[in-house]
Amino acid sequence: MRLGLFGGTFDPPHDGHLAVARAARDQLGLDRVELIPTRVPPHRHAPSASAPDRFAMVALAVLDEPRLVPSPREIVRDGVSYTVETLERLATQRPEVEPFLVLGLDSYLDLPNWKQPARITELAHLVIAPRPGARLALRGEDRPRLAAPGAHTSAGGPRRVFVLEMEEVPLSATALREALARGETPIRGLCGPVLRYVRKRGLYGVEETD
Ligand code: ATP
C-alpha cells in the first residue's frame, strides 16, 4: 500500500493543508493520505487548541474527501512527536506499507533540524509542496543535508523526492488564528464544518456560539 503521511499542528487545519493532501493523493496515486496532528510538536511553540480539538477539526475537514483520513497515531503517544519514531513504528508494524512523507517546502527546508533526518529519508519517500515564502536552495548552506543518493526505503526500493505541481496557497494557521481572534468576517481558508466547530468550542479567542 502506498501511504501518505502528512503531519502538522493543524491549529486549525485549513485549505492549504487540504490542497497539499489532495495533490499528494492524486499526483502520486496514494491509496490513502493520513493527516496526523502532532501531540507536542518538537519544532515550535505549544499549539493553541488541544490535541483532541485539533484531531476533531482534521476529521471534519476531510469528512467528504476520498482517501484522506485523520490519524491519531501521534496524539495517542506520550511525549514529543518525532516523525522518525512514527516512521520506525510503521516500518516495524506494517512492513508492507510504502510510506510517502508529505511536507510543505518550509518544513522540508527545516528537515536538517529534525531528529535523525537521514534516517527519515531512508524510511520514507519525500513529497514536497510549494509554499509562499519558501524557496528551494539548490546550492549553498541552506540546502538540507539528507541521506546520500541511492539510499533505500525500508520497503526495499530506492527512496525518492517528489515535488508536487500545484499553485501556492497563501494560507497559514497563524494568520487564520489572528484573523479569528480579531473577529474578522468572512474568514477565508477554513471549511464550513471547521469554522462551525471553532465557533461552537470558542477556540482562538472566538466568542462561543451554540
Ligand atoms: P502555523 O502557521 O501555525 O505554523 P501552518 O499553517 O504552517 O501553521 P502546520 O500545521 O504547521 O500549518 O503545517 C503542517 C504541514 O503543512 C507542514 O509541512 C507545512 O509546511 C504544510 N503547510 C501548511 N500550510 C501550507 C500551505 N499553505 N502550503 C503548503 N504547505 C503548507
pLDDT at 90 over 80: yes
Residue among 20, 18, 26, 19 nearest 2 (CA):
26
Residue 208, pLDDT score: 80
Q: Would you give the DSSP letter of residue 152?
A: B
Residue 147, pLDDT score: 42
- Nearest residue (CA) to ligand 1, atom 27: 16
- If one residue of 128, 136, 172, 178 were mutated to test the ligand 1 pocket, choosing by the most ligand atoms within 8 A of its CB, it would be 172
Q: How confident is the model at residue 144 (pLDDT cuts 50, 70, 90)?
A: very low
Contact residues for 94 (Cβ-Cβ < 8 A; gap 6+): none
In a domain, 75, yes or no: yes
Tell me, in angstroms, the distance from the centre of ligand 1 to residue 33's CA: 16
In the chain, what percentage of residues exceed pLDDT 90? Answer: 75
Is 104 a pocket residue for ligand 1 (Cβ < 6 Å)?
yes
* CATH number, domain containing residue 111: 3.40.50.620
Q: How confident is the model at residue 134 (pLDDT cuts 50, 70, 90)?
A: confident
Instruction: Report if pTM > 0.75.
Output: yes
- If one residue of 6, 11, 20 were mutated to test the ligand 1 pocket, choosing by the most ligand atoms within 8 A of its CB, it would be 20
The residue segments making up the domain with residue 35 are 2-168
- Nearest residue (CA) to ligand 1, atom 31: 104
In a domain, 194, yes or no: no
In a domain, 138, yes or no: yes
Provide the number of structural domains found in the chain.
1
Return the C-alpha cell found at 187. 474568514
In a domain, 206, yes or no: no
In the chain, what percentage of residues exceed pLDDT 70? Answer: 87
In a domain, 187, yes or no: no
Q: How confident is the model at residue 80 (pLDDT cuts 50, 70, 90)?
A: confident
In a domain, 58, yes or no: yes
- Nearest residue (CA) to ligand 1, atom 15: 8
pLDDT at 157 over 70: no
pLDDT, average across residues 128-146: 65
Residue among 73, 66, 67 nearest 51 (CA):
73
